[in-house]
Amino acid sequence: MKILFGTLLLLLCTTYSFAFQSASKDSITGIIDKSAALIKIDQGKQLVGENKIREALLAFREAAIKDPNTWKAPFWISYCHYRLKNFGYAKQYGLDATNKAPDDVDAEVYDILGVTCHNLNELDSAERYFQLAQTYLSKSRAKELNIQGKIASVQFAKQGAKIPNQRISLMGDINSGYNDYGPVLSADGKHIYFTSRRANTTGGMMNPDDQEYFEDVYTGVWNEQMHMFDSISNNVERINGPGFESMSWLSKDGLNAVVILNNTATNAKKVTGSSDICEVEFTKKGKWNVPKVINNKSINTSFMEGYATLTADGNTMYFVSDRKGDKRSTDIYVVQRNGRTWGEAKILSDSVNTSMRETTPYITPDGRFLFFSSEGHLGMGGLDVFVSENTSSGWTKAKNLGPAVNTVNDDSHFVVYKDLGKAYVSGLTISDKKSSLDIFEFDLNKLVLPVKL
């Protein structure tokens, strides 16, 4: 019996010692992994500060593997997907963060969940999360994030939920799965120019800021038999280069255009000031000349200028700039041509501009109506398309084009071709848990606008 008891005692002591050593080892490993996860999260946050969202996402994913119990990794993964407009993933990881630490999670997760649910058209959930953000964020942060404005936007979207959107998806290869936007058509509708950030962009380089391919101008030709644009190509000599290039206006005769160039993030020999507005002519040899930056310090500055649109006579130009970015976001400006030179650019009134973002203006050929996108006027979510009329007493208060045109996502680059009976807009296509910008068409004969063209 003594021998048996001694043997059992030895086994128990050995087992206890082994268990203690294993627990101690697991504890040490857990501490090391948690510390490694925190280091990765700090690295990711630094990359976010540098606007390197895709690189940051990798760091946060590594942190989640190191410490699967922390709420911080899924919170930041959610934030990255929100920035990348992968709203399904943003929602998934945001909910994971709140489930892991419902009492300790950063309250900004409710703003992220509100925005993602809004973009997924889950309006009741969006409103609930924005209300939580309003409750748990500080008053100053809630104001900075415009939570009250976002709640109003959700409620506005609910009012138009029963009105069908009239956009038509384009057939063919215009929409690629990458970001495609900004259509510009020839007067006869036989040719289209648009902007895309595809993998075959000239030079094959990526923008270090958002880690997407640079822009190129692409062209397409109308195929009457197939009823779509085909022969899609970015072989636009002398316009496309290693940086950002986009076309925003084409004259009726097709011989003059306005393009926007930005090669500051490349190793180009001749660097633009920032994003610059340029004029370009079509030669008798059937090719575009080298774009010329407009030499006017009130048009092109060291700040961002772009999205230029002109009246039919080419003498009045509207464009976007962030030159007042210390107090506002982006605003729309107007400038008149005096002979061969441009005059002094002036900011449009508050009937059009707000303290928030106004962008992608389109002026009708007669100069009467200005269509533009804004997140400052009340809309359905993100950027909505608005219209203002140029009257003898100034620009009228902007009117929302409504749910027939706008969605709960960003809607921009709205253009009208009255003679062709068509209008176009650029907006998000959400596929599974990701999204990309696509170009959509409207039938003007069926589309009811708040103004009569």
Angle at CA 441, nearest 5°, toward 307 and 212?
A: 50
Position 84 in a domain: no
Q: Work out the pLDDT band at 326, boundaries 50, 70, 90.
A: confident
pLDDT score for 311:
98
Token pair in block for residue 338: 């005096």
pLDDT of 370 strictly over 50: yes
SS (H, E, C) 66-117: HCCCCCHHHHHHHHHHHHCCCHHHHHHHHHHHHHHCCCCCCCHHHHHHHHHH
**Cα–Cα dist 125/118, whole Å:** 8
In this structure, are 321 and 415 located in the same domain? yes
H or E element at residue 428: strand 422-431
pLDDT of 18 strictly over 70: no
**Cα–Cα dist 388/400, whole Å:** 9
pLDDT score for 27:
60
Q: Average pLDDT for residues 426-435, to the nearest whole number?
A: 90
Q: What's the domain count of the chain?
A: 2
Q: Which of 127, 159, 191 is the C-terminal boundary of a domain? A: 159
Q: Work out the pLDDT band at 305, boundaries 50, 70, 90.
A: very high
**Cα–Cα dist 69/41, whole Å:** 14
Beta pairing class for 411-417 and 256-262: unpaired
pLDDT tens column, 118-155: 999 999 999 999 999 999 999 999 999 999 999 999 99
- Give yes or no for a contact between 203 and 267, defined as CB atoms under 8 angstroms apart: no
In this structure, are 317 and 375 located in the same domain? yes
Q: What is the CATH number of the domain that holds 295?
A: 2.120.10.30
pLDDT of 23 strictly over 50: no
Position 98 in a domain: no
In this structure, are 129 and 237 located in the same domain? no
Q: Average pLDDT for residues 395-404, to the nearest whole number?
A: 98
> How many residues comprise the chain?
453
pLDDT of 17 strictly over 70: no
Position 76 in a domain: no
Position 81 in a domain: no
Position 263 in a domain: yes
Token pair in block for residue 205: 């380089």
Q: Average pLDDT for residues 165-178, to the nearest whole number?
A: 95
Q: Average pLDDT for residues 343-354, to the nearest whole number?
A: 97
pLDDT of 26 strictly over 60: no
Total Cβ atoms within 10 A of residue 325: 12
Percent of the chain at pLDDT above 90?
Answer: 85
Position 11 in a domain: no
pLDDT of 21 strictly over 80: no
203-206: long-range pairs with CB below 8 Å, 24+: 203/241, 203/242, 203/266, 205/242, 205/266
**Cα–Cα dist 401/449, whole Å:** 6
When the pLDDT of each residue in the chain is averaged and rounded to a whole number, the result is 92
pLDDT score for 2:
43
pLDDT score for 6:
46
Q: Work out the pLDDT band at 420, boundaries 50, 70, 90.
A: very high
pLDDT score for 10:
41
In this structure, are 190 and 114 located in the same domain? no
H or E element at residue 389: strand 384-391
**Cα–Cα dist 176/218, whole Å:** 12
Q: Work out the pLDDT band at 342, boundaries 50, 70, 90.
A: very high
**Cα–Cα dist 191/175, whole Å:** 16
Q: Work out the pLDDT band at 325, boundaries 50, 70, 90.
A: confident
Token pair in block for residue 58: 């990798």
The domain of 199 spans 168-443
In this structure, are 151 and 269 located in the same domain? no
**Cα–Cα dist 272/242, whole Å:** 12
In this structure, are 140 and 220 located in the same domain? no
pLDDT of 309 strictly over 60: yes
**Cα–Cα dist 287/409, whole Å:** 37
pLDDT score for 7:
44
Sign of CA dihedral 212, 145, 147, 358: negative
Question: DSSP readout, 168-185?
Answer: EEPPSSS--SS-EEEEEE
- Give yes or no for a contact between 242 and 268, defined as CB atoms under 8 angstroms apart: yes
Position 49 in a domain: no
- Under 8 Å CB-to-CB from 158, ≥6 apart: which residues? 123
pLDDT tens column, 264-291: 988 887 888 889 999 999 998 889 999 9
Percent of the chain at pLDDT above 70?
Answer: 94
In this structure, are 125 and 266 located in the same domain? no
